[in-house]
Amino acid sequence: MRRLTFAVVVALLTVSSVARADSPILEYIEGWSGPGPYVVKFTGADIRVACLPSAAAKGDSVRSQFWACYTDNPSRVRGIFMFNFSFADNGGKQLFADDPNDIRKVQQATYEIAYMQRLNSIVDVGGAIQWVRLSTDAPATPSTVYVAATGWRTAPAIRLTFTPLGFMKFSGAAGGLSRIVHLQYESAYFGGTWSAADFGNSVSRYRASKEFQSRVAVSIDVAPLLVAIHH
């Protein structure tokens, strides 16, 4: 029973605590498109939902394939289905270049379904569909030109994950330590049109369409670490 309980806990905690931050160049470019950049500080997770076994693991039991998936065993997994989420904000900065009076916080909640194909023990590539909720609060002082607003955006995205320690080999319970740290790049394409009015601003002339939002991240995978500690 204790082993079953531990397996369930590992399954629930097999997430990557994500710290997303746009690079200075991406930050500058994204500033052209109105509110942003949006920065995530340890308020996101990538959850492995299911995995496709590698050729070497097709004869394994269901239990073994489950364990290989949630410990991210590079030799036993060839594809990963994921559910990801993150919460970010713009830090309460000026929203639009042509309206210096509108200084509010814009919050961005991103929900994503992704598939990652494993090329080798270091590189995974894949794609995703994002659902993004953008919301702004009303200003502290009641106003007729700035009001609270909420809207959704949907976008396809490409993802690249680099596991820098993936080439290393550890034995025993420490076998998954090479899978703890991941570097991620993701770029989503938003094809719709947004204006300042969508953010509750009736003054700015801001209007944008067909834009990319790119992010880089460093993530820590919990499951391999737990296995190493509680073998």
Which is more confidently placed, 76 or 29? 76
Please determine, for residue 50, whether its predicted confidence score (pLDDT) is greater than 80: yes
User: What is the helix, strand, coil percentage profile of the chain, to 5?
Assistant: 25, 50, 25
Please determine, for residue 174, whether its predicted confidence score (pLDDT) is greater than 90: no
pLDDT bracket for residue 35 (50, 70, 90): confident
Please determine, for residue 176, whether its predicted confidence score (pLDDT) is greater than 80: no
pLDDT at residue 10, rounded to an integer: 42
Phi, psi of 163 (to 5 degrees): -105, 95
Please determine, for residue 22, whether its predicted confidence score (pLDDT) is greater than 50: no
Please determine, for residue 16, whether its predicted confidence score (pLDDT) is greater than 80: no
What's the rounded Cα separation, in Å, for the pair 197 and 207?
9
Please determine, for residue 29, whether its predicted confidence score (pLDDT) is greater than 50: no
pTM of the model: 0.80
In angstroms, what CA-CA distances link 122 with 16, 125, 169?
A: 16, 10, 12
pLDDT digits (tens, 9 = 90+) for 66-123: 888 888 888 899 999 999 998 888 888 888 888 999 998 999 999 999 999 999 999 9
Please determine, for residue 20, whether its predicted confidence score (pLDDT) is greater than 70: no
pLDDT at residue 77, rounded to an integer: 94
pLDDT bracket for residue 34 (50, 70, 90): low
pLDDT at residue 41, rounded to an integer: 64
Helix axes 2-13, 62-70, angle to 10 degrees: 50
Please determine, for residue 39, whether its predicted confidence score (pLDDT) is greater than 80: no
Instruction: Please give the distance of CA 58 from its chain centroid, rounded to a whole number.
Output: 29
Please determine, for residue 31, whether its predicted confidence score (pLDDT) is greater than 70: no
pLDDT at residue 7, rounded to an integer: 45
Which is more confidently placed, 134 or 225? 134
Spell out the domain ranges in the chain: 2-229
